Amino acid sequence: MSQQHIPLSVLAEDGSSVDGFVRAVSPLAESLVQILAEELNIKFSYFQHNCSANTCYLRLNRYPTCPFPSKIVGLLPHEDPSFFTIVHQDHIEGLQLMKDGNWISVKPNSQALIVNIGDLFRALSNGVYTSVKHRVIAAEKVERFSVAFFYGPSIDAVIESYATPPLYRKFTFGEYQEQTMKDLKEAGEKVGLSRFLL
């Protein structure tokens, strides 16, 4: 799987083919975050202060065909390192999410968007919004493409539960990313938010 991260501030200016996607999804993300924040009485100014076109980014995923699909995973199981992620996938099956201990395949629909709550909203909402573990399985005969828009903050943003008693300790996004990289290197997987449980 090849990945490329491009900040939205660059994409909105270069007139590239993904420009239209960014222009369509950015206002959607702004509306979503307002609704999700309002539900919990979290101030919208928190997001205005910490998130911008320089901190949100687009990930372009390409999953090449794989001769051993049962042995190789396209994208390792993970929860997203964002407040939420808006995913557009093509018509090829591959995305799965964990529900009650089982992997469930998400029916591919190129006319729909998928919104995944990420670890940061889980921590901020004190577990009211839950990040869902997901992965992408490899396909033997067809390539798959997807585009993921990560609504996230700057690395110095402080993520602190809005409610008491907090389930997770206060941390910065930079700390979260460092921990994720460390876990990936040492344990071979992204352990995620459970590292910050109190």
Catalytic residues: 144
Give the span between the Cα atoms of 139 and 144, in whole angstroms. Answer: 8
Q: How far apart are the first and last CA of the chain?
A: 35
Candidates 5-13, 87-95, 123-131, 151-159; binding stretch for ligand OGA (CB under 6 A): 87-95
Q: Is 134 in the site for ligand OGA (CB under 6 A)?
A: yes
Give the span between the Cα atoms of 165 and 100, in whole angstroms. Answer: 26
Q: Is 146 in the site for ligand OGA (CB under 6 A)?
A: yes
Contact positions toward Ni ion, by CB under 5 A? 80
Contact residue for ligand OGA among 26, 50, 55, 61 (CB under 6 A): 61
Q: Is the Cβ of residue 50 or residue 131 nearer to ligand OGA in the bound state? A: 131
Q: What is the DSSP code (8-state) at residue 186?
A: H
Q: Is the Cβ of residue 53 or residue 73 nearer to ligand OGA in the bound state? A: 73
Q: Is 56 in the site for ligand OGA (CB under 6 A)?
A: no
Q: Count of alpha carbons within 13 Å of 95, Cβ hemisphere only?
A: 26
Give the span between the Cα atoms of 88 and 147, in whole angstroms. Answer: 5
Q: How far is the CB of 146 from ligand OGA (least distance, A)?
A: 3
Give the span between the Cα atoms of 15 and 111, in whole angstroms. Answer: 23
Q: Which does 137 bind (CB under 5 to 8 A by kind): ligand OGA, Ni ion, none?
A: none
Q: Is 136 in the site for ligand OGA (CB under 6 A)?
A: yes
Q: Cα-Cα-Cα-Cα dihedral of 178, 180, 184, 190, to 10°?
A: 180
Q: How far is the CB of 4 from ligand OGA (least distance, A)?
A: 11
Q: Is the Cβ of residue 80 or residue 119 nearer to Ni ion in the bound state? A: 80
Closest among 136, 149, 148, 133 to 93, alpha carbons compared: 136
Q: Residue of minimal CB distance from ligand OGA? A: 146
Give the span between the Cα atoms of 10 and 107, in whole angstroms. Answer: 32
Q: How far is the CB of 145 from Ni ion (least distance, A)?
A: 15
Q: Name the site residues for ligand OGA (rule: CB under 6 A).
A: 59, 61, 75, 80, 87, 89, 95, 134, 136, 146, 148
